[in-house]
């Protein structure tokens, strides 16, 4: 299983590398990095007088001229729907979608059926991942039993079984006292709690952002404050407990401001946003397409600007997809009755690269938010290049134009608001532990 | 008989041959042009006379089928559409279901597609979900008329309101309209705001701040938190029904207080212009948002609104389903 990446622009935020070089993968590990690694190092293993071999998945020389090689992308927040909702997505299909989007690791949320609140479910997910997934899969365990927010899940047992973090994502923990205890308890296991910040009373059955668009469309609004009061509450709890806090899917200017302020005071808080929160506004809801319905909702241009600024100054550490597969059964209904959520694994990278193309962030900055930062927050030794480490990597063609076409997705679901979008910059090769799990036909 | 009546009905079209409705559906006022609104109003004028005849029927839509698909209770609007269709000689089917399609186990799309498979010529839909008519319009070939969707729009109500004001005042431009009450939950308010502003009127809203939707001023209106503020200047005062169940939602303390602050009675009305028009889309809560003396008083055009509703809906059905559009559709 040997690969030689020639003349790649290697971007590795951990070491600050942004340089043209070669990278050799042997036996699934990074064996060498540097200029002028001779092709003989892998060709010697091939029969002598055969013509130069075409691209062989798993063994070959890959000319990376004009392409960028980065540590494999890590999605710290997705929903793989298995067990329980296999008609929407499975660990297998979700990982194939991830690989096609340039992801080598996926951290999947606990809102499966049954909920991942016990060793049995965690082990089931890991077992399925070993058998079926082409990427790494890291389960996130529930904070409370059945995500009900009433009593703690067996957190020690979950840790033992292999969860990398805890979250009741999809449902906010309205009971602040229980959340405080959960933080304190989880801290002793080194597990970060990922908060879905939403005050349900303020949401009050809202289905889109509260603002001019909800007024025009006559849809119930979710005010920015529904997110912000909980972000502020959770920051206060982080200070109280000393436990680190990670806030999921930040969507509002006020949340960015609150986290920036907390970080400046040294509070142990990290945060992520998702590509749709810097790519779309609530104006996309006009027309009542349920593929523009997610939670938190698409906000206004002012919020988009603040989210991008938060990414730029490091307030927002990571970009996650919040990949939430839903089928036509959930989506082809009245807007207010449609399920929340959109898929993102196969669109996140190009949408994020748009930030680079438009001059908001540097390539180094976005790569860090897709690789090193999620690894750091989840405590995974991934997301960087180092000789001897497992070879997880993503080859990106920054110049490749692409029209997003949901019918081509590897995901089982099609619920994307980005159908037909013209983007530039896509993953063309994805390698997990030295194994090619996705490659574009153009790569040879 | 038929020829004569057909000619009457088609007069506005032949007068202005370039004018017709832009889309196959009527989903809301927001996207309509002034010329489209005027076309409907002018057409309605010629149809209004039909309802005063001894034999209140023209053969315009003979052989056409109009389905009234109502997912919310309605007396006035459903009856008005049914009468409008029947006076045009269309066959009408009424489907009323109080439960949403989801709880019934069949999706809205399936319900509508099953109906479409029986080849109706128009589906009139009322639904508690904003955007439900848009969902159908996107997927179906048959013209869809929005008879009220959630808190979004109620375009035919706005058209009949505009028609009534134009009829009584002889103009729309420059008039001041006040809409009073629960704007937040009102599709009637939204459609009328769009419509009256398009026609050149000035729109003022009055109601508790809790019932003003977010950033409503961006719709081009002026809003007030006191009824007294809007009374003296208004040419038209439109009272909205206050839904009794809102009392528990924290929007206002009690119906008693609401009525005291935003109820229209003779005392409050003393400050109004002598030729003010009082409107209400119905159904009224007498004694809450409007006193019986005002509702039945000389300024009230509430029943004229209902009468005009039939003419406006006849015009709309004619324009969307009638012969002129048939040729357009078959060429698609």
Give A415's pLDDT tier (boundaries 50, 70, 90): very high
Contact B107 A332 (CB under 8 A): yes
B214 vs A212, A336, A337: nearest CB: A212
B127 vs A212, A287, A334: nearest CB: A334
Give B5's pLDDT tier (boundaries 50, 70, 90): very low
Give A257's pLDDT tier (boundaries 50, 70, 90): very high
Distance from CA of B154 to the nearest CA of A (A): 11
Quick check: A393 pLDDT over 80?
yes
Interface A:B, Cβ pairs < 8 A: 69
Give A348's pLDDT tier (boundaries 50, 70, 90): very high
Which range among A301-305, A361-365, B47-51 shows the weakest confidence by mean pLDDT?
B47-51
Question: Looking at residue B141, what is its pLDDT?
Answer: 94
Restricting to A residues 276-315, those with a Cβ less than 8 Å away from any Cβ of B are 287-288
pLDDT tens digits along B222-243? 999 999 999 999 999 999 999 8
Give the percent of chain A with pLDDT over 70.
96
Contact A218 B130 (CB under 8 A): yes
Contact B100 A288 (CB under 8 A): no
Question: Looking at residue B12, what is its pLDDT?
Answer: 43
Quick check: B259 pLDDT over 60?
yes
Chain B residue numbers with beta carbons less than 8 Å from the beta carbon of A210 are 214
Catalytic residue annotation of A: 322
Give B20's pLDDT tier (boundaries 50, 70, 90): confident
Which residues share a beta bridge with A371?
none
Cis omega (within 30 of 0) on the bond before A296? yes
Residue A328 touches partner B, C-beta closer than 8 Å: no
Question: Looking at residue B300, what is its pLDDT?
Answer: 98
Quick check: A11 pLDDT over 80?
yes
pLDDT tens digits along B134-190? 999 999 999 999 999 999 999 999 999 999 999 999 999 999 999 999 999 999 999
For chain A, what is the HEC assignment? CCEEEEEEEEEECCCCEEEEEEEEEECCEEEEEECCCCCHHHHCCCCCCCCCCCCECCEEEEECCCCEEEECEEEEEECCCCCCCCCCCCHHHHHHHHHHCCEEEEEECCCCCCCCCCHHHHHHHHHHHHHHCCCEEEEEECCEHHHCCCCECCHHHHHHHCCCEEECCCCCCCCHHHHHHHHHHHHCCCCCEEECCCCHHHHCCCCEECCHHHHHHCCCEECHHHHHHHHHHHHHHHHHHCCCEEECCCCCHHHHHHHHHHHHCCCCEEEEECHHHHHCCHHHHCCCCHHHCCCCCCCCHHHHHHHHHHHHCCCCCEECCCECCCCHHHHCCCHHHCCCCCCCCCCHHHHHHHHHHCCCCCHHHHHHHHCHHHHHHHCCCCCCCCCCCECCEEEEEEEEEEECCHHHCCCCCCCCCCCCCEEEEEEEEEEECCEEEEECCCCC
pTM: 0.92
Quick check: B1 pLDDT over 50?
no
Chain A residue numbers with beta carbons less than 8 Å from the beta carbon of B219 are 215-216
Question: Looking at residue A55, what is its pLDDT?
Answer: 45
Contact B150 A221 (CB under 8 A): no
pLDDT, average across residues A265-279: 97
pLDDT tens digits along A204-252? 999 999 999 999 999 999 999 999 999 999 999 999 999 999 999 999 9
Residue of A nearest to B186 (CA): A218
Distance from CA of A337 to the nearest CA of B (A): 8
Residue of B nearest to A210 (CA): B214
Which residues lie below 8 Å from residue B29, measured CB to CB, with a gap of 6+? B37, B153, B155, B158, B159, B191, B192, B194, B195, B198
Question: Looking at residue A52, what is its pLDDT?
Answer: 43
Shortest CA distance to A229 belongs to which of A257, A252, A197, A203? A197
Q: What is the mean pLDDT of chain B?
A: 90
Q: Which ipTM value was assigned to this complex?
A: 0.91
pLDDT tens digits along A168-210? 999 999 999 999 999 999 999 999 999 999 999 999 999 999 9
**In whole angstroms, how far apart are CA B106 and each of A405, B109, B113, B123?**
29, 8, 11, 18
Contact B134 A218 (CB under 8 A): no
Question: Looking at residue B244, what is its pLDDT?
Answer: 80
Q: What is the mean pLDDT of chain A?
A: 95
pLDDT tens digits along B107-146? 899 999 999 999 999 999 999 999 999 999 999 999 999 9
Give the percent of chain A with pLDDT over 90.
93
Contact B153 A218 (CB under 8 A): yes
Chain B residue numbers with beta carbons less than 8 Å from the beta carbon of A218 are 130, 149-153, 187, 190
pLDDT tens digits along B267-311? 999 999 999 999 999 999 999 999 999 999 999 999 999 999 999
Distance from CA of A226 to the nearest CA of B (A): 15
């Amino acid at each position: 299983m040997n690969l030689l990446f020639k003349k790649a622009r290697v971007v590795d935020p951990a070491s600050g590398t942004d340089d043209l070089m070669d990278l050799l993968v042997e036996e699934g590990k990074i064996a060498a990095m540097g200029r002028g690694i001779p092709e003989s190092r892998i060709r010697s293993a091939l029969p002598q007088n055969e013509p130069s071999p075409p691209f062989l998945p798993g063994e070959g020389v890959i000319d990376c001229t004009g392409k960028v090689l980065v540590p494999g992308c890590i999605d710290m927040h997705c929903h793989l729907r298995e067990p329980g909702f296999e008609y929407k997505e499975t660990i297998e299909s979700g990982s194939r979608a991830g690989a096609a989007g340039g992801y080598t690791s996926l951290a999947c949320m606990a809102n499966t059926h049954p909920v991942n609140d016990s060793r049995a479910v965690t082990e089931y997910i890991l077992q399925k991942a070993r058998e079926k997934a082409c990427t790494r899969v890291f389960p996130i365990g529930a904070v409370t039993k059945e995500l009900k927010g009433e009593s703690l899940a067996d957190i020690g047992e979950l840790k033992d079984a292999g969860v990398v973090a805890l979250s009741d994502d999809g449902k906010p923990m309205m009971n602040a006292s229980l959340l405080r205890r959960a933080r304190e308890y989880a801290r002793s296991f080194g597990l970060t709690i990922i908060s879905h910040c939403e005050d349900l009373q303020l949401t009050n059955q809202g289905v889109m952002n509260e603002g001019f668009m909800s007024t025009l469309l006559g849809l119930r609004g979710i005010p920015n404050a529904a997110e912000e009061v909980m972000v502020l509450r959770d920051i206060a709890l982080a200070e109280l407990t000393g436990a680190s806090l990670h806030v999921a899917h930040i969507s509002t200017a006020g949340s960015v401001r609150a986290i920036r302020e907390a970080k400046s005071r040294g509070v142990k808080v990290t945060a992520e946003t998702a590509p749709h929160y810097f790519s779309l506004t609530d104006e996309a809801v006009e027309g009542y397409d349920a593929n523009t319905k997610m939670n938190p909702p698409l906000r206004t241009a002012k919020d988009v600007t603040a989210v991008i600024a938060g990414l730029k100054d490091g307030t927002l550490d990571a970009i996650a997809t919040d990949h939430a597969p839903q089928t036509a059964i959930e989506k082809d209904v009245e807007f207010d009755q449609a399920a929340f959520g959109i898929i993102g694994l196969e669109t996140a990278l190009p949408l994020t690269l748009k930030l680079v193309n438009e001059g908001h962030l540097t390539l180094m900055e976005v790569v860090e938010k897709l690789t090193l930062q999620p690894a750091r927050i989840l405590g995974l030794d991934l997301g960087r290049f180092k000789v001897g480490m497992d070879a997880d990597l993503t080859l990106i063609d920054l110049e490749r134009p692409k029209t997003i076409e949901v019918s081509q997705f590897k995901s089982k679901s099609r619920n994307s608001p980005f159908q037909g979008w013209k983007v530039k910059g896509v993953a063309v090769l994805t390698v997990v532990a030295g194994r090619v799990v996705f490659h574009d036909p153009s790569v040879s | 008989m038929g020829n004569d009546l057909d000619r009457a009905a088609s007069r506005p079209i032949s007068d202005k041959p370039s004018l017709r409705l832009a889309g196959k559906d009527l989903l809301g006022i927001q996207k309509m042009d002034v010329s489209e609104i005027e076309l409907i109003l002018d057409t309605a004028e010629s149809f209004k006379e039909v309802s005063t005849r001894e034999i209140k029927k023209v053969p315009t839509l003979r052989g056409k089928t109009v389905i009234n698909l109502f997912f919310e209770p309605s007396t006035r609007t459903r009856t008005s559409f049914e009468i409008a269709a029947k006076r045009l000689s269309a066959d009408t089917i009424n489907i009323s279901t109080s439960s949403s399609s989801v709880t019934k186990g069949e999706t809205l799309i399936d319900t509508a597609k099953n109906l479409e498979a029986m080849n109706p010529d128009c589906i009139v839909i009322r639904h508690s979900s904003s955007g439900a008519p848009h969902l159908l319009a996107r997927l179906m070939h048959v013209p869809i008329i929005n008879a009220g969707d959630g808190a979004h729009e109620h375009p035919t109500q706005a058209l009949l309101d505009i028609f009534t004001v134009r009829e009584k005042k002889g103009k729309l431009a420059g008039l001041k309209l006040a809409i009073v009450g629960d704007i937040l939950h009102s599709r009637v308010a939204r459609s009328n705001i769009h419509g009256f502003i398009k026609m050149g009127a000035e729109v003022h809203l009055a109601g508790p701040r809790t019932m003003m939707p977010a950033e409503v001023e961006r719709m081009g209106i002026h809003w007030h938190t006191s009824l007294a503020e809007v009374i003296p200047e208004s040419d038209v005062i439109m009272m909205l029904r206050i839904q009794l169940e809102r009392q528990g939602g924290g929007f206002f303390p009690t119906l008693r207080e609401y009525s005291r602050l935003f109820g229209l009675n003779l005392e409050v009305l003393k400050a109004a212009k002598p030729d003010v028009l009082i409107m209400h889309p119905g159904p009224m809560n007498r004694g809450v948002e409007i006193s019986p003396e005002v509702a039945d008083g000389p300024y009230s055009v509430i029943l004229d609104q209902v009468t005009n509703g039939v003419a406006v809906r006849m015009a709309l059905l004619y324009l969307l389903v009638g012969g002129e559009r048939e040729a357009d559709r078959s060429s698609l």
